Structure 1
Amino acid sequence: MDNVTMIGKDAVSAKLAQCFVTIGRNRYNFMQAINFEAKFEKTKTEIPILGKTGAGNKSTGWKGTGSATFHYNTSIFRQMMIDFKNTGEDVYFEIQVTNEDKTSAAGRQTMVFIDCNIDGGILAKFDADGEYLDEDMDFTFEDFNMPEAFKILSGML
């Protein structure tokens, strides 16, 4: 059997993406984003099994977490922290990420993260020795969907 390999052009460029953040009725083009990552983690329970020396594992749920780094040139997340401090009202929002490299046969994938909630954030910063300012944000999400999926590449099946 021949060893079929991926064609180099089918790798998806790390820089060719779009990110939108919807807070209330406002949809922001989150072009300040430098990087973004959302993770799905299953929660499992160890199951004792009579007659086996090892335990089994049963999935019982999941947890969604994420992180982003972006240029320090927007106040929308700081305003969310101020509003929470002043009112105690928490804000949940949506993040949509689309990866599309037109040179790749993989096509386009879009993921939507629902009921996102920031863990905290930077209120102010400077760096007299730096070139530009950026900031990190960690968040959780409660739901997600994939309205667009990458195509199956030639040779995968």
Structure 2
Amino acid sequence: MANINAIQTMAAKDVVSAKLANAYVTIDGNRYLLFQAKNLKASIKKTKQEVDILGRPTKGHKATGASCSGSLTIYYNTSLFTKMLKDYKDTGADTYFDIQITNNDPTSDAGEHRIILKDCNLDGGEIAAFDAAGDWLEQELDFTFEDWEEPEAFKDLDGMKA
């Protein structure tokens, strides 16, 4: 009989460092290293409908769609994104772009992880900034995206498969 107290735990070295990452943005076929990125989060939110089910008091839930969105904070020292907003204002032509994010902590056995967010589109963004009491300038950018690819997935850590 297995001892419940003998459950394997994750090794501390396998936590992936938040700082050991890089990001590239591809705009109109031009690829840029986004080294001014401070943080990025991208997520998918499923749309669900409640389902009445005969014979039980609780409702079920059925996915009926999804929406993808993200947020990006960069140090405010590039006009890449401001130019997209200006182009839209001046011409009505909207810009779609891809963002590739790679997490790679060489200490972790989880290995390298790479996601490419496809057809990103800005919701808006700051076009000018200053802060007399601040230390540096940042630009907050919210966006949507249509799809993603995962060319490199994290590896299962030792002990995950039960």
Q: Scaled by the length of structure 2, what TM-score is found?
A: 0.94
Q: Shift in Å at residue 40 of structure 1? A: 1.1
Name the counterpart of 2:74.
70
- SS of corresponding position for 2:72: strand
| In the alignment, structure 1 residue 26 sits paired with structure 2 residue 56 | no
Correspondence for 2:155: 151
| Structure 1 spans left out of the alignment, 5+ residues | none
- Residue in 2 aligned with 1:80? 84
Is 1:42 paired with 2:51? no
Aligned pairs (5 A) from 1:8-157:
8-157=12-161
Query: What SS does the aligned partner of 1:83 have?
Result: helix
In structure 1, the residue corresponding to 2:9 is in which secondary structure? Answer: coil
Question: What's the CA shift for 1:46?
Answer: 1.2
- CA shift, 1:106, in A, is 0.5
Q: Which runs of 5 or more structure 2 residues have no equivalent in the other structure?
A: none
The structural deviation recorded for 1:129 is 1.0
The count of aligned residue pairs is 157
- Rounded to whole Å, the distance in 1 between the matches of 2:154 and 2:58 is 38
Tell me the CA shift for residue 47 of structure 1: 1.6
RMSD between superposed Cα atoms in Å: 0.9
How far residue 48 of structure 1 moved from its aligned partner, in angstroms, is 2.1
